[in-house]
């Protein structure tokens, strides 16, 4: 009986540092993949640690930024709020991402129609197809505007049109065939969208009308926005200073009054990457005011 060859990457990595979490010796493959061993527990732990470190760094940047602005302008608002920031280039939607979306939609449409046929689909209770911000205060609406939709990154190439959310949308379109719904979604795919976000996430916002978005898209509120909502309702400030930060960098900052006047103090241009690789930057009018 011959001995089985051991893949070279599975050999203990001589001289490589042990797992940063559990201290176990690591294979060469593990050593080049990151600071931990391959165990899910260690990889999860290090991901949480990194997220906490980034959050701490963002909070420091937030404090410094608010202090600087206060010094320069006396005060930018009665309440300073930190939100995430959507920071990645806008690119022509690659064919490979479109194909992944088509595949995902086809799969979940088939399942949704099967579920409806066997009456296993979820009920429409709590369906959200309207604008969740319709009743929100202007400063609260401005949190998502300043952020630019960091949460949409999770939409990836499925846009949450999956086995949880798609059946609800299908039930809301009685009489429409799977083929028709499929075509409707494909027709809405934008020419350009953020490179590391949902395929429908464009520089101008979501390319889907609300009635075609998953329930979660019409109802989600991140922890930062929830905090802001609480602070706004407790303090009822006359004006708010919103600072959007991603990985220690201030992406945008705006002053918003309770009556909805929004003044940008900083707005990082969205990077546009052309297919040729050339970059073009859009210069914002940083001081212009608008109404939320
Ligand atoms: S819910 Fe949070 S992450 Fe999503 S757009 Fe609003 S502020 Fe950004
Ligand atoms: S469908 Fe629209 S709202 Fe939902 S994740 Fe994609 S871009 Fe965001
Ligand atoms: Zn480990």
159-183 pLDDT per residue, tens:
999 999 999 999 999 999 999 999 9
- Give the ligand at the shortest distance from the Cα of 155: 2
**Site to substitute for ligand 2 among 131, 149, 155, most atoms within 8 A of C-beta:** 155
pLDDT at 201 over 50: yes
The rounded percent of the chain whose pLDDT value lies above 90 is 70
Map tokens 């979604």 to a residue. Answer: 185
Give pLDDT, residue 71.
Answer: 73
Q: For residue 150, give the ligand 1 atom closest to its CA.
A: 3
Average pLDDT over residues 35-54: 94
Q: What is the C-alpha to C-alpha distance for residues 19 and 26, in angstroms, rounded to an integer?
A: 6
Nearest CA to ligand 1 atom 6: 144
- Of 40-54, 119-133, 180-194, give the lowest mean pLDDT range: 119-133
- Residue 106 or residue 28, greater confidence: 106
- Give the ligand at the shortest distance from the Cα of 224: 1
Give pLDDT, residue 38.
Answer: 93
Q: Nearest to residue 133, comparing CAs of 261, 243, 219?
A: 219
Confidence of residue 118 (pLDDT cuts 50, 70, 90): low
- Of 83-92, 93-102, 179-188, 282-291, give the lowest mean pLDDT range: 282-291
3-state secondary structure of 168: helix
Check pocket membership of 201 for ligand 1, CB cut-off 6 A.
Answer: no
288 CB-contact burial (10 Å; exposed 0-12 / middle 13-18 / buried 19+): exposed
**Site to substitute for ligand 2 among 84, 201, 204, most atoms within 8 A of C-beta:** 201
Q: How far is the CA of 28 from the centre of ligand 3 (A)?
A: 14
**Site to substitute for ligand 2 among 160, 166, 185, most atoms within 8 A of C-beta:** 160
- Give the ligand at the shortest distance from the Cα of 200: 2
Give pLDDT, residue 135.
Answer: 83
Give pLDDT, residue 74.
Answer: 61
Tell me the Cα Rg of the chain. Answer: 23
73-77, 94-98, 130-134: which is most confident: 94-98
Contact 262, 139 (CB under 8 A): no
Give pLDDT, residue 6.
Answer: 42
E strands, 54-183, where? 79-84, 90-92
Average pLDDT over residues 231-259: 93
pLDDT at 3 over 70: no
Q: What is the C-alpha to C-alpha distance for residues 164 and 280, in angstroms, rounded to an integer?
A: 39
Give pLDDT, residue 125.
Answer: 46
Check pocket membership of 159 for ligand 2, CB cut-off 6 A.
Answer: yes
Check pocket membership of 150 for ligand 1, CB cut-off 6 A.
Answer: yes
Q: For residue 220, give the ligand 1 atom closest to its CA.
A: 1
Confidence of residue 276 (pLDDT cuts 50, 70, 90): low
Average pLDDT over residues 195-224: 96
- Mean of per-residue pLDDT scores for the chain: 86
Q: Nearest to residue 36, comparing CAs of 48, 24, 53?
A: 24
Q: How far is the CA of 266 from the centre of ligand 2 (A)?
A: 25
Q: What is the C-alpha to C-alpha distance for residues 290 and 285, in angstroms, rounded to an integer?
A: 11
Give pLDDT, residue 128.
Answer: 53
Check pocket membership of 251 for ligand 1, CB cut-off 6 A.
Answer: no
- Residue 256 or residue 7, greater confidence: 256
pLDDT at 4 over 50: no
Check pocket membership of 105 for ligand 1, CB cut-off 6 A.
Answer: no
Check pocket membership of 82 for ligand 1, CB cut-off 6 A.
Answer: no
- Residue 185 or residue 284, greater confidence: 185
**Site to substitute for ligand 1 among 58, 225, 231, 246, most atoms within 8 A of C-beta:** 225
Average pLDDT over residues 40-63: 94
3-state secondary structure of 28: helix
Check pocket membership of 83 for ligand 1, CB cut-off 6 A.
Answer: yes
Give pLDDT, residue 73.
Answer: 63
């Amino acid at each position: 009986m011959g001995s089985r060859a051991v893949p070279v990457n599975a050999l203990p990595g001589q001289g490589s540092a042990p797992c940063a979490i559990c201290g176990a010796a690591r294979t060469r493959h593990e050593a080049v993949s990151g600071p931990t061993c391959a165990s899910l527990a260690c990889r999860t732990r290090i991901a949480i640690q990194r997220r906490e470190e980034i959050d701490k760094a963002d909070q420091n940047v937030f404090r410094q930024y608010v202090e600087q602005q206060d010094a320069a302008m006396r005060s930018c608002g009665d309440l300073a709020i930190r939100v995430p920031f959507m920071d990645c280039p806008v690119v022509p939607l690659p064919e490979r991402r479109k194909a992944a979306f088509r595949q995902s939609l086809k799969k979940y449409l088939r399942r949704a129609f099967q579920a409806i046929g066997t009456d296993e689909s979820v009920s429409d209770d709590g369906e959200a197809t309207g604008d969740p911000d319709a009743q929100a205060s202007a400063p609260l609406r401005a949190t998502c505007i300043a952020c630019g939709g960091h949460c949409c990154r999770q939409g990836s190439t499925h846009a949450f049109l999956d086995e949880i959310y798609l059946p609800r949308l299908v039930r809301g379109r009685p009489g429409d065939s799977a083929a028709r719904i499929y075509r409707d979604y494909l027709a809405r795919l934008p020419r350009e969208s953020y490179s590391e976000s949902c395929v429908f996430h464009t520089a101008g916002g979501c390319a889907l009308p609300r009635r075609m978005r998953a329930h979660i898209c019409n109802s989600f509120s991140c922890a930062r926005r929830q905090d802001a909502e609480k602070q706004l309702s407790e303090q009822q400030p006359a004006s708010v200073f919103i600072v959007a930060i991603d990985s220690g960098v201030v992406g945008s900052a705006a002053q918003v009054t309770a009556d909805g006047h929004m003044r940008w103090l900083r707005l990082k241009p969205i990077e546009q990457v052309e297919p040729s690789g050339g970059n073009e930057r859009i210069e914002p009018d940083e001081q212009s005011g608008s109404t939320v």
